[in-house]
């Protein structure tokens, strides 16, 4: 997978460190026009399927919605349905009905859940290719144990689940296409994989980072280290996220690759919001940046190098800066994402982001009505 020239991902995350997001009512305050409207403002992805009251009977319409570099993570559209009914976890001999049994199958599967469920993994959950984890309609938590690992696979969608309070797993063998040892404490790790889409997830309180993407993957650390040259191929879209005020840094941090960071809401940061090293290209477009009150911490960006970064392409366009926030640009020439026709989308002005990200995180929805 690492040899692929184009590596893809899209996020729609709620990354608070404290509490779950609640769904707003249809009486919505529009920050642009300053009036209450009965019509909810939805982002481009959600507007394509949330308004259909029969969404539960046509779940696969979800794959017609993504934008950006993650728009090709759709190969599970015609997969069989697998229903998770068992919260248990056995990494050697997983039971039929458990989540682990479904994700390790070699055939494409669209995985849904029979009811609200809390799954505490005994070790990291190793995904296989052509899998969709769809948590819509119920409350799905992966908590108090190890993480999800997406390694050496492609065409994976993770939608509408909560991953929190992650702990390090044990270094043991487990059932998968090959054995793997786990040492980290992230919520999700993507390793040498492509065509990955993570959408409407809540990610919080993990031992290490929230999401790591390493070794030429397509997805909040992007890049293994400054010398892993295969990560130059990374192409990442980070869009429609709500980053909570308890977060410290890496929203995201990029090494070597390319990141289009668009229409995200930042509720302060303790160190910095967007950072990088080893000459990455970063295009910040239409984001809403609320700086912390600390007068010495208003800059959004941080470059992990002492000298020689002024030719790095870091750009800001249509961003909304609040409370003294500012973006330090650098380099010259265009850094537009150059999406294909199927990937392209119109990025809204940053002033619209509070509305567009109002429902970030899992949607507590009814199976039988639009929302």
SS (H, E, C) the chain: CCCCCCECEEEEEEECCCCCCCCCCCCEEECCCCEEECCCCCCCCHHHCCCCCCHHHHHHHHHHCCCHHHCCCCCCCCCEEEEECECCCCCCCCCCCEHHHHHCCCCCEEEEECCCEEECCCCCEECCCCEEEECCCCCEEEECCCCEEEECCEEEEEECCEEEEECCCCCCCCCCCCCCCCCCCCCEEEECCEEEEEEEEEEEEECCCCEEEECCCCCCEECCCCCCHHHHHEEEEEECCEECCCCCCCCCEEECCEEEEECCEEECCCCCCEEEECCCEEEEECCEEECCCCCCCCECEEECCCCCCCCCCEEEECCEEECCCECCCECCCCCCCCCCCCCCCCCCCHHHHHHHCCCCCCCCCCCCCCC
Nearest to 252 by CA among 204, 294, 284: 284
Query: Which residues is 277 bridged to in the sheet?
Result: 255
Give the model confidence (pLDDT) of 180-230 as tens digits: 444 444 557 777 788 888 888 887 765 544 555 443 333 545 654 555 555
> The dihedral of CA 306, 6, 78, 65: what is its sign?
positive
The number of residues in the chain equals: 371
Task: List CB contacts of 344: < 8 A, sequence separation 6 or more.
Answer: 67
Residue 309 token pair: 């970064």
Q: What is the pLDDT of residue 368?
A: 76
| Number of other residues whose CB lies within 10 A of the CB of residue 283 | 19
Contact at 8 Å (CB) between 227 and 242? no
In the chain, the percentage of residues whose pLDDT exceeds 90 is: 37
Bigger pLDDT: 274 or 5?
A: 274
Highest mean pLDDT, choosing among 10-19, 38-47, 83-92:
83-92
| Number of other residues whose CB lies within 10 A of the CB of residue 7 | 28
| Number of other residues whose CB lies within 10 A of the CB of residue 162 | 22
Q: What is the pLDDT of residue 230?
A: 57
For 261, what's the count of Cα atoms within 13 Å in the CB-facing half-sphere? Answer: 34
Nearest to 274 by CA among 209, 197, 327: 327
Nearest to 98 by CA among 77, 125, 74: 125
pTM for the model stands at 0.82
Options 3.20.20.60, 3.30.9.10, 2.160.20.10, 3.30.70.1140; CATH for 9-356 is 2.160.20.10
> Which residues belong to the active site?
250
Q: What is the pLDDT of residue 222?
A: 62
Residue 338 token pair: 């150059």
Query: Which residues is 214 bridged to in the sheet?
Result: 191
Bigger pLDDT: 172 or 232?
A: 232
Q: What is the pLDDT of residue 253?
A: 87
∠ CA 62-283-339 to the nearest 5 degrees?
Answer: 45
Give the model confidence (pLDDT) of 53-102 as tens digits: 889 998 988 888 778 887 777 667 789 999 999 999 998 899 999 999 99
Give the model confidence (pLDDT) of 273-286 as tens digits: 999 988 999 999 99
**Considering the chain, what is the average pLDDT of its residues?**
79
Q: What is the pLDDT of residue 91?
A: 87
Domain ranges of the chain: 9-356
- Confidence band, pLDDT 50/70/90 cuts, at residue 335: very high
How far is 47 from 24, CA to CA, in rounded Å? Answer: 15
Distance (Å) of CA 269 to CA 37, 78, 265, 273, 279: 31, 41, 11, 6, 23
């Amino acid at each position: 997978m690492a040899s692929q020239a184009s590596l893809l991902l899209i996020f729609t995350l709620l990354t608070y460190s404290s509490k779950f997001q609640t769904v707003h009512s249809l009486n919505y305050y529009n920050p642009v026009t300053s009036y209450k409207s009965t019509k909810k403002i939805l982002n481009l992805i959600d507007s394509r399927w949330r308004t259909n009251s029969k969404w539960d009977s046509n779940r696969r319409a979800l794959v017609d919605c993504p934008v950006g570099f993650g728009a090709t993570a759709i190969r599970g559209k015609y997969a069989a349905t697998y229903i998770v009914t068992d919260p248990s976890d056995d990494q050697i001999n997983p039971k039929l009905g458990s989540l682990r049994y479904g994700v390790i199958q070699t055939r494409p599967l669209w995985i849904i859940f029979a009811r609200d469920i809390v799954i505490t993994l005994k070790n990291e959950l190793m995904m296989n290719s052509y899998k969709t984890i769809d948590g819509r309609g119920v409350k799905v938590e992966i908590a108090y144990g190890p993480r999800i690992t997406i390694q050496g696979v492609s065409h994976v969608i993770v939608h509408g689940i909560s991953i929190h309070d992650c702990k390090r797993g044990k270094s043991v063998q487990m059932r998968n296409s090959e054995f793997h040892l786990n040492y980290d404490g992230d919520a999700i790790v993507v390793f040498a994989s492509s065509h990955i889409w993570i959408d409407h997830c809540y990610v919080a309180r993990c031992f290490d980072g929230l999401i790591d993407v390493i070794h030429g993957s397509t997805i909040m650390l992007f890049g293994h280290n400054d010398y892993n040259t295969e990560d130059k191929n990374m192409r990442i879209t980070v869009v429609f996220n709500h980053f909570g005020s308890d977060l410290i840094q890496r929203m995201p941090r990029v090494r070597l690759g390319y990141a289009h960071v668009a229409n995200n809401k930042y509720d302060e940061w303790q160190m910095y919001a967007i950072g990088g090293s080893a000459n990455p290209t970063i295009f910040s477009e239409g984001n809403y940046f609320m700086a912390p009150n600390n007068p010495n911490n208003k800059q959004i960006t941080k470059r992990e190098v002492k000298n020689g970064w002024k030719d790095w392409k870091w750009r800001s366009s249509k961003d909304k800066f609040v409370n003294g926030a500012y973006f330090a640009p650098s380099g010259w020439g265009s850094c537009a994402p150059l999406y294909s026709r199927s990937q392209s989308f119109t990025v809204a002005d940053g002033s619209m982001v509070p509305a567009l990200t109002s429902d970030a995180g899992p949607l507590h929805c009814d199976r039988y009505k639009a929302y």
